[in-house]
Amino acid sequence: MRQTRIARRLDAPRAAVYAALVDPRSVAKWKVPAGMQAEVHEFDPREGGAIRVSLTYTHVHGRGKTSARTDTYNGRFVELIPNERVVEVDEFETLDPDLQGEMRVTIDLADADGGTDLVAVHEGVPPGISLDDNAMGWAEALTRLAALVERSQTG
């Protein structure tokens, strides 16, 4: 199975990080690669709750998976353990068979020296997505997450 795994230490408590993982306004700010904007259409943070998000390129050269410049995915929350784990299953809204299929994203949180260690595993990455590009998108998103939760800790 094609997957991306990325780890990041955040200088914020697990409760603050978890809150940013399950808040749709926060997700719209952090869970997006550079050069894209997020629009959260549906986000029901409970097990079985629905997710639908669009990521749109901010420059005209970006090529979307769902439409000319937009990647839209939908899915559901599979497991939510407060301050410990978020698991969701998502799928791009596309007719391209190289971009279809369920993807499972698992984010685990653990205490670490006054902060939080975050490990994200993105399984089932479709063959039409470069694993290097996927890893880079996750790294960019986690940099935004760090800025969001670490800033909130300093006021």
CATH classification of the domain holding 88: 3.30.530.20
Burial of 60 (0-12, 13-18, 19+ CB in 10 A): exposed
Residue range(s) defining the domain that contains residue 56: 3-154
Q: Specify the pLDDT at position 125.
A: 97
pLDDT in tens, 67-110: 777 889 999 999 999 999 999 999 999 999 999 999 999 999 99
pLDDT of residue 155: 52
What is the Cα–Cα distance from 126 to 71, expressed in whole angstroms? Answer: 13
User: What's the rounded Cα separation, in Å, for the pair 123 and 125?
Assistant: 6
Q: Tell me if the pTM is above 0.85.
A: yes
pLDDT the model gives residue 154? 59
Residue 153's pLDDT is 66
Give the chain's domain count: 1
Q: Which residues of the chain have pLDDT under 50?
A: none
